[in-house]
């Protein structure tokens, strides 16, 4: 057993033990604790949990890798995800928290109708399943490389751990486990970044020092057949850069597993402060990611440039065993590097390994390599747990009990929610073993679906009283249907042949167009049909203007 495997095992056992202990101590026996942690999570803890929920395997594992190979164009992920969080925190979260319900389908159900609630629940399941596939695959990649476990078994192991702590304690267990996971992932991300920055530039602040290597990185990139790192619009058209950024941004503001986090605080004011702390915790990683991408790419290219294929660095051999790094057997010397297997380069490197491999590429000691592995697993599992809870609540709370077992008690509701989560984990494992694209790309598809379904319905529901149920249902169905159809058209999935993008719009960017389609359909249909009742417009007034008394029904669980 190598030193890397030993240290990886130590960190994974310690971190997993902590997660299980927290889950056991946070177990719940009532639906409010299972779905919204009893509205009792302290502000800073909720901010850290949001940060962990937010920074998935895509952020930890894949984003810096995409920045490394896309260069300037990789900033779409930074701008889209961080800008979207600000949009969510300022535009939507306080109003939804004031409404005071468990789930996004509950909000649109109260605001519009039972039909819209059902459409929303189905959309939440589709979006969350797509998102969780990327997390499961990210976990499998970590296990595959660092513990010599096949990716299939790696996905299964990660799923079993998530199942135990998510099913045991629901939102309460997930929240406090995510606080621990955030601690692990941010330490695992920052320590190697600081160490590499100090080694390469003498300045231990990655956000400041990585600018010193950009000129050399540009020269190396061109020499090995890659695009200039700092040049814009090399990888995709300008229109697609804009649309992908917009899709990620408004998709963020519509993601159900993030929105539900703002229900777990004690007060509306606490929800706002949670948003502030979450933004701080997120910024620690997101401002470091460009530096990690640049440093890792520079070290990678410098280490393989002109090197004989029989004399490549040890990290290449380590990762080649996983199938995520490929060496052209017909090449004698590495003269070209790519992240696209179809490019025929001498060395092909999967985007998803760069952060995990960065300590090895930089020659850092084995304990840091093991720590990064534990951080990658923490990122993947923290987000997966939140997504699985959304699937569970949508199936049990918004569909099953809404239509089949309205009189069910707490015990039956909890049991059904746990069964729904177990089934969701099994399906996610199957899909996570063979994802359709890189981790960050799969996640981007989920954001596009959220953008084209939830965002217009939520925004118009809060800020336009004339919006009615017929318009919202029509908009969500058409917007989401259009987006999924385009993704299927441009991706090679389910045995379907991929087609060229229309007007250069990638499947990651089509969600922004789908959101526009949704909004237009919603507005037109709402204007052509009867306006909502006075009761509904009064409810909308009550969440926007605190001085207006709120009209509640007997079934309303209330808010502030």
Per-10-residue mean pLDDT, the chain, length 560: 82 85 70 57 82 77 84 88 82 74 74 87 81 76 76 81 68 77 90 92 92 92 87 88 92 73 70 82 90 92 89 88 85 88 85 85 88 85 74 73 72 76 80 66 81 91 92 95 92 74 91 96 96 88 63 40
Q: Is residue 454 part of a domain?
A: yes
Which residues on neighbouring strands pair with residue 325, listed in sequence order?
A: 349
pLDDT at residue 552, as a whole number:
44
Integer Cα distance of 502 and 239 in angstroms: 11
Length of the chain, please? 560
Give dist(CA 549, CA 462) in Å, integer.
Answer: 16
Does residue 353 lie within any of the structural domains?
Answer: no
Number of domains composing the chain: 1
Residue 65 located in a structural domain: yes
Q: Within a domain: residue 308?
A: no
Reference 282, options 87, 439, 445, 86; nearest CA is 86
Is the residue at 331 inside a domain? no
Asked whether residue 512 is assigned to any structural domain, the reply reads yes
The answer as to whether 414 is a domain residue is yes
- For the entire predicted model, the pTM comes to 0.80
CA distance 75 to 77: 5
Q: Residue 44 sits in which domain range? A: 3-296+364-544
Domain membership of residue 344 (yes or no) is no
| pLDDT of 519 | 97
- Which pair of tokens denotes residue 517? 């389609």
**pLDDT given at position 377:** 82
Q: How far is CA 24 from CA 27, 147, 168, 259, in A?
A: 5, 26, 7, 25
Residue spans of beta strands (DSSP E) within 129-274: none
Find the CATH number of the domain harbouring 118: 1.20.1730.10
* Neighbouring-strand partners of residue 208: none
């Amino acid at each position: 057993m190598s030193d890397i495997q030993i240290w990886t095992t130590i960190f994974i056992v310690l971190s997993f033990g902590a997660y299980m202990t927290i889950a056991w101590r946070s177990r719940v026996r009532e639906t409010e604790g299972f779905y919204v942690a009893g509205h009792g999570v302290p502000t800073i803890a909720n901010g850290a949990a949001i940060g962990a929920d937010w920074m998935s395997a895509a952020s930890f594992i894949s984003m810096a890798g995409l920045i490394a190979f896309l260069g300037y164009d990789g900033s779409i992920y930074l701008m889209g995800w961080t800008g979207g969080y600000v949009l969510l925190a300022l535009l939507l979260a306080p109003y939804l928290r004031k409404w005071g319900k468990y789930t996004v389908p509950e909000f649109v159900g109260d605001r519009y109708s039972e039909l819209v609630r059902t459409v929303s629940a189905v959309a939440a399941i589709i979006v969350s399943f797509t998102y969780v596939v990327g997390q499961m695959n990210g976990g499998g990649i970590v296990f595959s490389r660092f513990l010599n476990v096949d990716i299939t078994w790696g996905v299964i192991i990660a799923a079993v751990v998530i199942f135990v702590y998510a099913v045991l304690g629901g939102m309460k267990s997930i929240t406090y486990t995510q606080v621990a996971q955030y601690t692990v992932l941010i330490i695992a991300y920052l320590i190697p970044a600081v160490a590499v920055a100090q080694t390469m530039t003498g300045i231990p602040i990655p956000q400041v020092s990585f600018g010193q290597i950009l000129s050399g990185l540009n020269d190396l990139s061109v020499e090995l057949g890659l695009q200039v790192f700092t040049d814009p619009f090399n990888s995709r058209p300008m229109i697609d850069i804009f649309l992908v950024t917009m899709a990620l941004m408004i998709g963020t503001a519509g993601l159900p597993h993030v929105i539900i986090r703002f229900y777990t605080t004690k007060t509306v004011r606490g929800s706002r402060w949670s948003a502030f702390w979450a933004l701080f915790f997120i910024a620690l990683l997101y401002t470091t990611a460009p530096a990690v991408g640049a440093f890792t790419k520079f070290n990678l290219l410098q280490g393989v440039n002109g090197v004989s294929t029989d004399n490549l660095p040890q990290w290449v051999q380590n990762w080649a065993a996983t199938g995520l790094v490929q060496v052209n057997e017909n090449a004698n010397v590495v003269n070209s590097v790519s992240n696209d297997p179809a490019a025929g380069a001498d060395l092909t490197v999967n985007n998803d390994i760069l952060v995990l491999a960065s300590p090895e590429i930089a020659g850092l000691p084995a304990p840091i390599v093991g720590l990064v592995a534990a951080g990658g697993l923490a990122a993947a599992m923290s987000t997966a747990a939140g997504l699985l809870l959304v699937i569970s609540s949508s199936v049990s709370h918004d569909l099953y009990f809404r239509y089949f077992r309205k009189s069910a008690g707490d015990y039956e509701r909890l049991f059904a929610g746990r069964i729904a989560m177990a089934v969701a984990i099994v399906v996610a494992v199957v899909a996570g073993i063979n994802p359709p694209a890189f981790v960050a790309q799969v996640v981007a598809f989920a954001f596009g679906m959220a953008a084209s379904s939830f965002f217009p319905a939520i925004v118009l529901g809060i800020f336009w009283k004339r919006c009615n149920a017929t318009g919202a249902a029509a908009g969500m169905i058409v917007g989401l249907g259009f987006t999924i159809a385009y993704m299927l058209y441009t991706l090679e999935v389910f045995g379907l042949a991929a087609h060229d993008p229309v007007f250069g719009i990638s499947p990651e960017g089509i969600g922004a167009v789908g959101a526009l389609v949704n909004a237009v359909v919603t507005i037109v249909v709402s204007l052509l049909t009867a306006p909502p009742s006075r009761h509904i417009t009064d409810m909308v007034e009550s969440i926007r203007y605190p001085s207006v008394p709120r009209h509640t029904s007997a079934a309303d669980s209330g808010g502030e």
